[in-house]
Structure formats: structure tokens, C-alpha cells
């Protein structure tokens, strides 16, 4: 069952999928329709899942699940990954590669491979103050507090000297 993302408890589990490019406004409208349809039918062993989604910066798809009603299972997580793979194919975008880094350059969000980000850190093109997106957060509370942070406060810090 789909609910408004902003009404989910802060303990709700999140999965963040970052795109390697921004979605167009038309693509975003289509993706939001598809997300609504997917979440409305998303179940765990036949039981409804209370979930919502948010799309941020035209490139991050965030699924959130209130696990107090029903927990995600292997099958339900597999179903969400299959759905995300379908979006990848439909829009020619990469959403599942965890070896990419997104960070802010002024008001824009940039996207680099981890290798390129390391090089940029060595060349001082990014610093400990660069705002990065920590897509490893586990729940809405962490999303709100630790998703957009200076690189010095994230796992990205290991590349900065």
C-alpha cells in the first residue's frame, strides 16, 4: 500500500538508487506513475507493504518501507530490484552501480565513478567540505541527518588527504 513518503516513520527502511544522469521532467512524471503502480502492488509473502517514495534532485529514487506493518523479505527486495532494473532499461540510465559517487558542485549534482572521484580528491578538485550523498543510510532518520554531508563525515573521507 502506497503512502506519502513524508508520513512514514523515521525508522522506515530506505533504499536509495542514484542515477548517472538527471531525469527530464517528462521522464520524472512517467517514473512517478510507475513507482506508484509498483508500490501499490508491492507485497511480502502476500501481505501489503506500507511504503512510499521520493525523487530528489531529479536523480535519486528513494524507496521507504515502514517495517512495523510488515518487514521486507528477500522476495520483496528482489521485486524492487527487478523494478529498478526495468527503469534502467526503459530510460537508459544506471541506478544500481554502487561504485559511483554523487556530490554537489554549487547548486548542481555531479556524478562520477569512484575511480574518477579518487583522482579528483588527489588533485584537490574535491575536498573534505564537498557535499556528498551517502547512499548507505538505512532509514529515514539517517536520510535526514546523514545523507547530504561533507565528505569528511562520510565514507568518502577515506579518499581525502
Query: What does the domain layout of the chain look like in residue ranges?
Result: 5-91, 100-159
pLDDT at 144: 97
- Residues with Cβ within 8 Å of 54's Cβ and at least 6 positions away in sequence, in order, are 5, 62, 64
Give the burial class of 56: count Cβ atoms within 10 A of its Cβ; 0-12 exposed, 13-18 middle, 19 or more buried.
middle
CA–CA dist 8, 66 (Å, integer): 6
CA–CA dist 17, 113 (Å, integer): 15
CA–CA dist 77, 158 (Å, integer): 30
pLDDT at 115: 92
| CB 20 within 8 Å of CB 94 | yes
| CB 13 within 8 Å of CB 68 | no
49 secondary structure, DSSP code: -
Nearest Cα to Cα of residue 12 among 3, 20, 21 = 3
Tell me the pTM: 0.93
| CB 125 within 8 Å of CB 159 | no
- Residues with Cβ within 8 Å of 13's Cβ and at least 6 positions away in sequence, in order, are 64, 65, 67, 72, 138, 139
pLDDT tens, N- to C-terminus, the chain (161 residues)? 899 999 999 999 999 999 999 999 999 999 999 999 999 999 888 788 899 999 999 999 999 999 887 888 888 999 999 999 999 999 999 999 988 999 999 889 999 999 999 999 999 999 999 999 999 999 999 999 999 999 999 989 888 86
| CB 16 within 8 Å of CB 97 | no
CATH architecture of 5-91: 2-Layer Sandwich (3.30)
Helix or strand holding residue 141 (H, E): helix 140-146
| Residue 124 CA, distance from chain mean position | 26
pLDDT at 63: 97
Amino acid at each position: 500500500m502506497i503512502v506519502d513518503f513524508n508520513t512514514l516513520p523515521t525508522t522506515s527502511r530506505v533504499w536509495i538508487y542514484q542515477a548517472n544522469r538527471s531525469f527530464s521532467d517528462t521522464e520524472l512524471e512517467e517514473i512517478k506513475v510507475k513507482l506508484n503502480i509498483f508500490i501499490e502492488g508491492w507485497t511480502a509473502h502476500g501481505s501489503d507493504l506500507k511504503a512510499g517514495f521520493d525523487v530528489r534532485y531529479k536523480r535519486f529514487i528513494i524507496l521507504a518501507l515502514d517495517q512495523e506493518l510488515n518487514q521486507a523479505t528477500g522476495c520483496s527486495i528482489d521485486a524492487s530490484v527487478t523494478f529498478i532494473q526495468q527503469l534502467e532499461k526503459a530510460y537508459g540510465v544506471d541506478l544500481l552501480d554502487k561504485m559511483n559517487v554523487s556530490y554537489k558542485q554549487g547548486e548542481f549534482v555531479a556524478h562520477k565513478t569512484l575511480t574518477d572521484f579518487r583522482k579528483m580528491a588527489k588533485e584537490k578538485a574535491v575536498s573534505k567540505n564537498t557535499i556528498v550523498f551517502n547512499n548507505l543510510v538505512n532509514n529515514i532518520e539517517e536520510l535526514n541527518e546523514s545523507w547530504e554531508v561533507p565528505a569528511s563525515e562520510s565514507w568518502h573521507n577515506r579518499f581525502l588527504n
